[in-house]
Each structure stands twice: as C-alpha cells, then as structure tokens.
C-alpha cells in the first residue's frame, strides 16, 4: 500500500520546531499572567455565521479561504480562521458579556485558511491571542501593547518594529471615507488594480492596505486619517502614545495601517520584522468596540491582538538540546528490568536521562551517551544486577567507579 502523505499546507512539527512553539506558549503564559490574563480554550469548529458576521461577508477570508462544510444535520460549520470572533462568541454565550467589569483572556491554537502556502503562512497556522473586554480607556490599549512588547522581549525577539495608527470612530470616520472616495474618483482608473477599484466604492479604507506596488504609488498622496480625527479620538490616541513614549517603547506612526470593518475603532497596531521576507507582520491588533453587539451581545468595548507563531518561530534561534543528566547502559538482557527501575528512580529524584531498552555492546552505548550529551553514564551488567551495584562513569573526565545502587540513590 502507498504511504499516506500530509495535506498540502499542513505541517508536522518535530523537535526542534515544536520546541519553539512550546517555548512561545510557556513564555506567553508567564508574561500574560503578570497582567491578570487567564487562559480561554476555544473550540476549533464554529457555526459559519460567526465568521461571516464577525469577519465580514465581503472579505477574502470569508469568500475564498474558509474551510466550511455541512454536518449530518445540514448545518454549515467552519474551522476557525481566527480566534477573536470565537472569544466574543464565548463571552456572549456564557453570559459574561452582560455582567460588566473587565475581563482579560489569552488563547492558543491552530487556525485554518485555504490560501497559497508560503514561508510563515500555512493553511493550518497557529496563533497566540489576547483580548480585553469591558474597558474603553486608552490606558487599556497602551497596557495591551506593552504586554505584547514584554512577551516578545521575554522570547528574545527585540529587532521588531511597532507601527500604530488611529482609525477614528463612527463620528469622524464617515468624513474621512468621503475624503478618500473623492480622492479615488480623481485618479485614473487604470492606476488601481481590479480589487481596489471595487474597494474604492465599497470599502475605501481597504485600498490603503493594498500591497500591489502600482496601487501604493497611486494612493501615496491620499488623505490621512489622523487629519480627520474628532477631538475625543485625538485625545485617546495621544494618551496611548504618551504612555508608550514614557516607557521607552520605540514605535512609528503608520497612517496607512487600517482595518476594513466598521467595528474596528481608534487604536490599531502591528508588529513587523524585516528578517522573514514578504510576510513581515508577526503580530497585530487594535480596538474593536463594535464586535460584541454585532455578534448578539451588549455594547462591550474590546481590544486585543494576535501573534502568528509560525512567523515568530522563524525569528527564534535553534533551541539548546534538552538537558541529559545521565545515560544508563545495559550490557545483559537479564538486567534490562533492573536498569529500567534504576532509571525510573533517578528520574523520580529530578534527573533527566535515558536508559537502554535493549542490551548492546558498551562501546555502542557510550557512543549514544555522547550523542545525547549525558553528563554521567551508568553501566549495568549481569554481575552488577546480582550484586546491587552499578558502574558510574563521568563522561567529561572518563573516570569510572562502582557504587552501591541503593546508597547512590539515597545520596541524591
């Protein structure tokens, strides 16, 4: 029979790549807990309506990229393409959205989008998310950005660029959209790609996000959203920037950093790296005060971010090999059980190591101990098994002695 191969765009993660993911998750848990965040575990499968409403019917994600299918009761289900909509659904579904107060959650897990696989972008990819519900203040935005910075720094990632913008609000953004539409109308239609021609009519902010060089050049002099902010939005954004500046976080303002959906308001941000090619964004987020009511809940101000774990892992150095305190060599088939029990006793004492599960020559087993980087090798043959002793070899010096097994364990 032919071997079954993995699906295109879905990766098997062996060490050391899987070790990088474990490290990122461990670091996130440690940092986020210091800011009062608790872990929220979300289902991978949701009703399709959650994403068509939460991400937007007109987006490429909903129209082209979702893994959607009917179940046995003819219900349309989708494997989650992102986590924020699921977090909001959980908040509303649990009744927590109507209880007031501030809620802080982080999530880990796989997401699914059908798109062309490339470096740092797979059809199954993984994200670290953090969401804050119930507070509209600029200090909440600033604290979230500082937490993201602390996490990335703790992970050893420092050569990153923080970009910020304000999207305004429902009071000031309509005027900006009108100014954008008037600007697009003045352009030669041939200057924009087909997608941007459509967006210029339906979602003018999205044109600013286009990566096509010709579109970027054509819109280089487009009106800036920061010139159209109302007084409240301006004060909000200035308060965010003041906190970040006073903490010493280096950032730049990017007036082209936009989100195409109306429920995004005010602060938006992105973290990029120049070290991973065209897929330069490693994290992004912002304020989405309008999403909870859009998904059936009360008016709850919200802000959050997502980190792409595949892209972050590209920036991490190869992890150091796992610590190996010992290797236990067994020279006789009859001593395998004694060897395994002694290794278990060593592990119960907090040591890390491996034990031979087959009796082989001492030369081959010492070679294996060297490959593992074991600090100490134990050698157990039929004679040692019978006498209750074991050979102990210091791998650095090469010196070897024989000790009583029970006394050795009691000395640890």
pLDDT tens digit sequence for 206-215: 878 777 887 8
pLDDT at 178 over 80: yes
**Percent of the chain predicted with pLDDT > 90:** 71
Among 31-40, 117-126, 190-199, name the most confident range: 31-40
Highest mean pLDDT among 49-63, 140-154, 254-268, 306-320: 140-154
According to CATH, what is the number of the domain 17-172+229-315?
3.30.930.10
Mean pLDDT over 157-177 rounds to: 91
Q: Is the pLDDT of residue 152 over 90?
A: yes
Residue ranges of the domains in the chain? Answer: 17-172+229-315, 326-411
Please, what is the average pLDDT of the chain? 91
pLDDT at 277: 66
Q: pLDDT tens digits, residue range 362-410?
A: 999 999 999 999 999 999 999 999 999 999 999 999 999 999 999 999 9
Per-residue pLDDT at 56 exceeds 90: no
pLDDT at 176: 87
Q: Which of the four pLDDT bands, split at 50, 70 and 90, describes residue 279?
A: low
CATH of domain 326-411: 3.40.50.800
pLDDT of residue 278: 61
Q: How far apart are CA 345 and CA 349, in angstroms?
A: 6
pLDDT score recorded for residue 3: 92
CA distance 387 to 401: 15
């Amino acid at each position: 029979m032919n071997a079954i191969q993995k699906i295109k765009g879905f990766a098997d993660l062996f060490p050391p790549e899987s070790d990088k993911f474990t490290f990122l998750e461990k670091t996130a848990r440690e940092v986020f807990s210091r800011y009062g965040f608790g872990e929220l575990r979300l289902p991978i499968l949701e009703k399709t309506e959650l994403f068509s409403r939460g991400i937007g019917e007109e987006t490429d994600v909903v129209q082209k990229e979702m893994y959607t299918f009917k179940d046995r009761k003819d219900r349309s289900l989708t494997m989650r393409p992102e986590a924020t909509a699921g977090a909001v659904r959980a908040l509303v579904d649990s009744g927590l959205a109507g209880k007031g107060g501030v809620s802080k959650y982080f999530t880990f897990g796989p997401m699914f989008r059908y798109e062309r696989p490339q470096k740092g972008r797979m059809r199954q990819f993984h994200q670290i998310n953090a969401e804050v519900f119930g507070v509209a203040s600029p200090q909440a935005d600033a604290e979230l950005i500082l937490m993201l910075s602390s996490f990335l720094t703790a992970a050893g990632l420092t050569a990153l660029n923080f970009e910020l913008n304000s999207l305004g609000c429902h009071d000031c953004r309509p005027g900006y959209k009108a100014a954008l539409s008037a600007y697009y109308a003045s352009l030669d239609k041939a200057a924009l790609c087909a997608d941007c021609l459509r967006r210029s009519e339906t979602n003018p902010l999205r044109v600013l996000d286009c990566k096509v060089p010709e579109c970027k050049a054509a819109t280089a002099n487009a009106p800036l959203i920061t010139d159209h902010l109302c007084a409240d939005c301006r004060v909000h954004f200035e308060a965010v920037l003041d906190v970040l500046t006073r903490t010493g976080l280096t950032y730049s303002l990017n007036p082209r950093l936009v989100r195409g959906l109306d429920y995004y308001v005010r602060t938006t941000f992105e973290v990029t790296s120049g070290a991973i090619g065209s897929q330069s964004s490693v994290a992004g987020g912002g304020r989405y005060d309008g999403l909870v009511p859009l998904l059936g809940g009360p008016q709850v101000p919200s802000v959050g971010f997502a980190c792409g774990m595949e892209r972050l892992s590209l920036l991490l150095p190869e992890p150091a090999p796992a610590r190996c305190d010992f290797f236990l060599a067994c020279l006789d088939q009859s001593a395998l059980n004694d060897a395994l029990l002694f290794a278990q006793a060593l592990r119960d004492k907090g040591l890390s190591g491996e034990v031979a599960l087959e009796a082989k020559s001492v030369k081959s087993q010492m070679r294996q101990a060297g490959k593992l980087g074991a600090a100490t090798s134990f050698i157990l043959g039929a004679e040692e098994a019978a006498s209750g002793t074991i050979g102990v070899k210091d791998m650095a010096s090469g010196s070897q002695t024989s000790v009583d097994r029970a006394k050795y364990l009691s000395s640890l």
